[in-house]
Every structure is written in C-alpha cells, then in structure tokens.
Chain A
Amino acid sequence: MPFDPEFLAQRFRRLAPASDYCSLRVVEERSESVSVRQDRPEPVSASLDHGAMVTVIDGDGIGYAAVSDLSDDGLRWALSRAAEWAALARERSVFAGRAPQLATPEGRYASPTERPVHWSKADRIDVLMRESRACRLSDRIVDWQASLWTVSAQQMLITADSRPEQAALQVFDFTIPGLHVVAHEGGVTQTRSWGGRYNGFCQQGGLEVIDRSGFIGSGRSTAEEALQLLAAANCPSGRMDIVLMPDQMMLQIHESIGHPLELDRILGDERNYAGTSFVTLDMFGTFQYGSPLLNVTYDPTRGTEFASFAFDDEGTAAERTFLIREGRLLRPLGGTSSLQRAQRSVPSLAGVATTRACAWNRPPIDRMSNLNVEPGESSLDDMIGATEYGVLMKTNRSWSIDDSRNKFQFGCEWGQMIRNGRLAEVVRDPNYRGVSRDFWRSLAMVGDAGTLEIMGTPYCGKGEPNQAIWVGHASPACRFSGVDVFGAER
C-alpha cells in the first residue's frame, strides 16, 4: 500500500524546497458500503483512496497542490506546483503581508475502536437482510432500505523542517448504520428513518457502535412508526412550545450555531457559495446568543463522537473549549490561519483547532468538528410536563436557512402533540421556522445527560472547491417556547 508514513516522510523531507513553510498531508482511506433494499442486496460500494496535499508558504502567499502519485516524481510535481502558487499569491493574498504561522505537530490519535468491523460483505448483507425483512409489515410499506457504511482512514501531517520522529499520525474508524422505511396510502407518503435521516447515527469505533446504536431490531419498529405516521393527522399550525429530540437538535445546532460561528464565513471567504454570517467579529465576548441555559462546546476529545481528533489539518493541537457559555458568545470556529486574519481587527480573539480538509485533494478550511450542546438539569418528563400545548419533534427531514444564517425553516419526520403536560397523539409533517438568535433566546429548558445522544453527519457541505466533511453533534433534548409551527399542505 502507498501509506508508509516513515518512508513518505523521509522522501518528502529530502525533496522539499527551501521555503518559509512546507507541509505534506497524506491520507489513505478504505471505505465499504453495503445496503439491502426491499430484501435484495444493492451493488456493493467499496473504495481505496489515497493521495497527498502539499502546502507551501512564500511570504504572505500560500499555495497548494494535490496528487495521488506518491512516488518521488509525484511529490516533486506537487512541491513545485504549490511553490508556484505561493509565489503567485505573494503580495496578492488575503493574508496581507503576514503569513500564517502554522504549527509543526507531533503526536498520535486513534479512534477508540474496541472491535474492528471484520465482517465480510456477505456477513454484512446477512445482518442487513434480517432488518430489511422485518420491515415488510404491510402492503402500505412501499420501500425500505438498510445500510452499513464503514470507513478506515489514516492520515499523516508533517512539515519539511520537522525532526524525523515529528509528525501527526491519526487513525480513524467510522461506523455508520442506517435504515429507513417509506409508507404510502391514499396520496400520503411518509418516511421514517432509524438513527436520523441521512446517516445521523454515525460514530467512531467498530462493531461496538452497532451494538450501542440499537440498529439490530430497528427494522420492525421503524416500519411500525412509518405506519403510525401514515395514519396520523397533519401537524397543526400556530405559535406553541416545542420539545426537540437530539436527532433534530443536531440539525438545529449545525445550521444556526455551527455555520454562523465559522470564522471563514465571518471573514467573507464563503460569501459566494455557502454564505456569510450574522455574527461579526465585535460580538465575541459580549453577544447574548441564547438564553442563559445555552452552553455550547467544541469538543474533539469525545472519542466516540464522529469528528474527534488530536490535531486539525493545520497541525494545531485540539482541546475542548466553550464557544457559548450561559448564552454568551465567546469564540468562533476558526483555526490558526483564519484567526490570524481576524486578529488584525480583534487582537484578543481566540479560536479553536478546527481547520480541516475533507480529503487529500482539498485544502483545510474552518469546519465545525464536534459541536455540542451541553446537558442541563431537566428530564424529558420535566420538559413535557412543563408544556401546556406544543409538539415534540424527532428526526430532521428538511432544512433551509438564509445565507447569513438567520431565517431558518426546519421539518421533522415525527411529531407528537403535548397537551396539558402529557404526550398525546402522533402528528405528521411537523415544521417550524424562526430567526436564529430569537430562537436560541427562547430556549426554556435543557435536558439532562439522560436525554443526550451522540449524533453527527458525514455530509456537512461548504467551501470552494466544495468539501463534504464529517462532523459530530451531541445534544440533549431541549424545550423552546413560542415557536411558529405548521404542517403539510392542506
């Protein structure tokens, strides 16, 4: 295999030209995705990917080149091309005379895998087939699919001036089970997903992830819920309280806290594509983002969470940090190079190590990584009990927000009315909308650790060129007051 860290590092150090900074990030990734749809196996998707990204800094210019040819010739080409770009960018760069000062990392990280997934493809199909067959409860079940996606990745980041043993070596195992069921009758179609739609249950680890996920046995229960939704009334409209379960909270955090706090958005890098942010640099330290119950951390140390790591892709060591404490905004999601740009305006600004690339062929940019709402003190019963009239919502199915991350509208798969402090009938197609800061200021109760779930997504998209990266979101259930709720087309 091409991934021999020591040999690559030796050759890179030998070939690297003299420059202000030069680094090599090598990634090797093995992926296998198996699925069974309507009790028939779908084509297996497996891949072996590898390649390297070279970064060169020349004055205030930074240049990159990515190549999957890891021979001396390939590395020479990448080094030369990155140096050309850095020279071209010099004195034309957003760094405006001050080159980013990037770290020389040293250390290791490995996912806390207890039992690697050594299942063959046939074994995987067997497991998925059992869940698939359990979904077939009724003729009203018109489609269903179970899937298992596993990824093993190794990554090395070194700088040209590092000592022989000085490198960041990180090894990841990701396990992502999924299942959804579609029910249809009389012009109504309802989809119910297990573990969050679009692979919301995704964690680091091996077979133990499947064990703790509850995936085994999920086929029948998910199909039953799909049929319940099919028979349910439309969600009512009006202003009311809502209780969001963790598989919707993860989306709420992602879109209305995560993206607006990305420092490259605040600096304007993303304005042409992903968008800007209502957050400005002067807000850090003073702005009341949410109610005093809101505590948000960047936590790359939570081993089983999807985006745990020891170093970001600029080589900065990662540690747990509060971004919002008691509702007050403290820090952005910005790594070394963005932070240095921002500190021209706000010298006291502090960031976190979260500048990451989705693959070897993309340069690092500011991402969310693990972004979590810290648990509070309310049980789920407390939150339901405190709600006179409202809806409990589970499992995101629709998401949309403006390019400044203000006006959002989200929809869920599952709704359940709350009346006089008690859970009542199931309702379908619950949606709600609002404005980010008003919404977070309406946070009325935060669930305790017993309500917390560790979710995430493999599909967080932004960047030019585009990058879909893996992020984690752990959250308790939360209750919000006075929210604009509505259902499907009448």
Chain B
Amino acid sequence: MKDLFFALADRAFSALQPNEVALLNFSGEVTDFVRFNHAQVRQPMTVRQARLSMALIEGRRRNQITLALSGTPEQDGPRLDDALLALRAELPTLPEDPYLLYSTAANRSERIDRGALPSALQTTEDIVETARGTDLVGVLGSGPIMRGFASSLGARHWHEVDAFLFDWSLYHAGDKAVKCAWSGNTWDRAELERRIAAARDQLTHLSATARTLEPGEYRAYLAPAALDELLWMLNWGGVSEKAQRTKQSCIQKLADGQATLSPMIRLTEDTAGGMAPGFDEAGFSKPARVELVNVGRLSGSMVSPRTGAEYGIETNGADEDESMSAMALAPGALPESEALAALDRGLYIGNLHYLNFSDRANGRVTGMTRFATFWVEGGRIAAPANVMRWDDSLYRMLGSNLEALTDAPQWILNNGTYGQRSVQTSRVPGALLRKMAFTL
C-alpha cells in the first residue's frame, strides 16, 4: 500500500499547475474480522480497503475529495487524474477560506511496527477450541493498519502497524458477564488460553444471587476500563480548543477557571506512547506529548490547524475534531492489589456503558454500569450487582469525590471499527470514589 500511495502522490503532483498545492491523506487496512457467539463462529470475513483524500489548494481556495482505491495503479491512477481535473474545474467557484492552514514543511517520517500475526484462519481455530464449552461472544480484528500523508511541497509520512484486538465477553447468564480485551501484534495461543481460563475463574463471582441496589450514593471503585469510558467523554468536545472558545466544552467551567478537578488528575495526549500516527491531516507533525490537565487545572487543549488559524494560536497537531488519540491519565499511589480493601464497602464497577451528558455545561454525565459489577463488603466481593443508572458530575467524580488513583495504569486499544479500525489508545489507572450518585 505504501508504494501505491506514494506512486499515486507522484502522479498527482506531476499533474499540478505552478500555483497549485496538493495534500494527500491515505488510510487503509487489510483486516480479518471474526465474530463469535456462544463460542461459535457468527460472521468471519476479510476486508481489504483503502481510501485517499486529495485536497487541491490555490491561494486560499481549497477543494477536496475522498476516493476508494482499488489497490492497483492501473485502476486508481486514471481515477485520480479525473478527480484532480474535477477539483481544478470547481476550485475557482469556491470562496476563499480564511482559516486554511497546512504544513509547508518538506519533512518526512516513517513508522512501521511489524508483528507476528498468523492467519486469522488459525487464530479462529485457537479461539473456538480454547473457548469450547463457554458462552463466549465478541470479535477478533487482526491485520495491518496504514495511514499516509504526502504534500506537493515535499512532505511524506507513512505509518503502518500490525495489530490485533480480541474484544470479548464470557457470559454466566442473562446480562452477567466478564468483559475482556487482548490487543497486541504477536499472537500467542498459550496467552489466549491463560486469559480465557482467568475469565472462567472470574465467572464464579457472578454465579451468586445478584443484588439490586436502591438509588442513592455509594462508595465506588472504577476499574481502568470503566474510568476509560468516563474519560472519553472529555473527547466529546471537552478538550477541544474550538469547543472551549465557543462555550460548548463539557469542562467549560474548568476552562473558564470556575472549577477544578482533583490535584491527582494529570491528563496528557501522549502521541509517543500511542498507536496513532505522529502527523495530522494537514501534514503537521504532532508533539510527543501535549499536557491538557495538570494538578486538576486546565493546562492545554487540542488545537487543530483550522482552529489555530481562526483564533491566531499555535496548532498542536490535533486532527479536525480536536479529540485525543492517545489519552494518558497519570497513575496514583493506591496499589491496584489493595483497591478492594480500600473500597471496603461499595460498588466495584468493571465497565460503564452508554454515557452521555445530562447537563453538558455543568459536566454532568449519565450512564450505566455493565458487565462485572459487584457489591463489596469488608473489602471482599459479596455479590454481583444488577445494572444501575448513575448520573454525576465530572467535577465530583474526578474532583471532590476522587479519593485515589491506582498505581498500575492499563493500556487500552480503542475497539471502535466504524468505517475503519481505530488507532486511538488510552493509558488509564483505576479510580476510587468517595461516593457516586446512582439514580435508577
């Protein structure tokens, strides 16, 4: 794919007229997806896809199109030629864009992370055999993911990672299940067997009679996967500079200095520690790290090139939606092994589900508990808990009611596959809350 992309870029750039600039972005993957239900195969497939976006710029005018690529120069070259002609014909009719900003640097980068991914035909056999007799449901996604950028000004960036994500649950009955995820770039059947055996062991906790809690406030421990769900709400316009400038951020009070989070909260966009490309769609290189919240106070934001141009500030490599791609929350001091003891009496929450803002301006979020959630007494699991709706504020959950963060952050590969596999990652510890508000 890399050779194809840069060959197409050369072809397009050679056809440019003297005053024209072209920016090309590439995204592609060859993915084996296998869905499982009841430890049997539901839908196995391979998807071979590639897309190229071409922006043609002249002065402050810009026109753009995204094309599906077939993967062969004989088919894609003429299609690209036609697209360039169409963009050029239309360009003078479009208004100037005062916020147009792109990198003029002729810089280059390449990151290729090769792994050892056997054929998914083999890994599927491994999963079916290892999970036999269980109620396993989930999906395996495996194969290379590619991103590229090229500009007619000389920039060339390529990012390619081999990766798999086996995202699955082991069910006891009804809605009681253990949720697991295993990502990496080297498949190891012995590790798979170990993980499924560990999940089977955890199922024993779910076999007891479930407890239904009354609405109210309870002490709670959010396991890393649950805290990760909560923190991703900040990515829904929270840390976006544009959202903050237009008063739409869910942490607007933090941005305006009217509220703080706990001093334990130190949040960073950690590109160097993630899986996403180190370049943005306008060709700018991303800093290794962008500090966003430090000791509970806002210390930065995600600034896209367009927002940078609009407000006259520096861009920091953010993509157009100004979300984090590699979120990192600094760990705390609570040993993870002591989390249940520190919780003492309350809810251990393995996962959260379907979060949304009940009051965005005040940072109030609602959602559900899901999967392995337990009532804990005396620092020991007493019973599985039936799902509960909660509705609480980020300023309380990550602020006044945050008692501790654990010392062992978990690296999580986002399981999103809308259109293409996500390369977003996070590194998140667990969180102990003095209280959390449950409503239904």
Contacts and interface: CB of A to CB of B under 8 A. Distances in A.
Interface of A: 2, 40-41, 43-51, 61-71, 73-74, 77, 81-82, 84-85, 88-89, 92-94, 96, 120-122, 125, 142-143, 182, 184, 187-189, 191, 267-269, 271-273, 275-276, 359, 361-363, 365, 398-404, 407, 409, 411, 429, 431, 433, 435, 461, 464-468, 488-489
A64 B45 CA distance: 4
- Nearest first, the 10 closest Cβ-Cβ pairs linking A and B are A64-B45, A464-B139, A489-B362, A465-B417, A143-B246, A69-B70, A184-B247, A47-B66, A272-B138, A85-B44
Given A64-B45, A93-B40, 16 more contacts: A65-B45, A65-B47, A66-B45, A69-B70, A92-B40, A92-B41, A121-B63, A121-B93, A182-B247, A182-B248, A271-B137, A365-B43, A399-B356, A407-B387, A466-B416, A489-B361
A62 B41 CA distance: 9
A435 B388 CA distance: 12
Contacts of A77: 48
B94 A121 contact: yes
Contact of B355 (A66, A85, A400): A400
A121 B40 CA distance: 49
Contacts of A272: 137-139, 167-169, 179
Main SS of the interface on chain A? mixed
B95 interface: yes
B50 interface: yes
Interface in B214-259: 246-248, 252-253, 256, 258
Interface string B57-100: 00000111111111110010000000100000010011101110
A120 B35 CA distance: 43
Contacts of B246: 142-143, 182, 184
Nearest to B128: A92
B118 to A, nearest CB: 13
B124 interface: yes
A282 to B, nearest CB: 15
B138 A67 contact: no
Contact of A398 (B50, B93, B97, B356): B356
B175 A404 contact: yes
Contacts of B417: 464-466
Given A94-B37, A403-B368, A409-B358, A85 B46 contact: yes
7 contacts: A41-B95, A46-B66, A69-B70, A77-B48, A272-B139, A403-B370, A409-B440
Nearest to A74: B70
B360 interface: yes
Given A464-B167, A489-B393, A69 B128 contact: no
Interface in B142-173: 167-169, 171
A122 B72 CA distance: 33
Given A50-B68, A121-B90, A398-B357, A403 B387 contact: yes
Interface in B33-56: 33, 35, 37-38, 40-51, 55
Contacts of A92: 40-41, 124, 128
B434 interface: no
A95 B208 CA distance: 32
A399 to B, nearest CB: 6
Given A64-B44, A68-B69, A400 B354 contact: yes
Nearest to B43: A363
Main SS of the interface on chain B? strand
Nearest to A398: B356
A77 B355 CA distance: 41
A211 B167 CA distance: 46
B367 interface: yes
Given A64-B44, A71-B75, A81-B46, A187 B94 contact: no
A488 B393 CA distance: 11
Contact of B175 (A122, A182, A276): A276
B1 to A, nearest CB: 12
A285 to B, nearest CB: 22
A40 B168 CA distance: 45
Interface of B: 31, 33, 35, 37-38, 40-51, 55, 62-72, 75, 83, 90, 93-95, 97-99, 121, 124-125, 128, 135, 137-139, 141, 167-169, 171, 175, 177, 179, 246-248, 252-253, 256, 258, 306, 353-362, 364, 366-368, 370, 387, 389, 391, 393, 415-419, 421, 439-440
Contacts of B306: 43
A61 B360 CA distance: 47
A403 B351 CA distance: 12
A403 B44 contact: no
A125 B50 CA distance: 30
A361 B68 CA distance: 11
Given A400-B366, A409-B391, A62 B43 contact: yes
Contact of A122 (B94, B99, B389): B94
Contacts of B358: 398, 400, 409, 411, 431
A411 to B, nearest CB: 6
Contacts of B42: 93-94, 269
B175 A51 contact: no
Given A401-B354, A489-B364, A466 B247 contact: no
B194 to A, nearest CB: 20
Contact of B71 (A69, A267, A359): A69
Contact of A402 (B38, B137, B387, B415): B387
Nearest to B439: A433
Contacts of B175: 271, 276, 403-404
A203 B135 CA distance: 41
Contacts of A121: 63, 90, 93-94
Contact of A269 (B31, B37, B94): B37
B418 A461 contact: yes
Nearest to B67: A48
Contacts of B361: 187-189, 488-489
A68 B357 contact: no
Contact of A63 (B45, B248, B364, B421): B45
Contacts of B94: 41, 44, 121-122, 125
Nearest to B66: A47
A49 B63 CA distance: 17
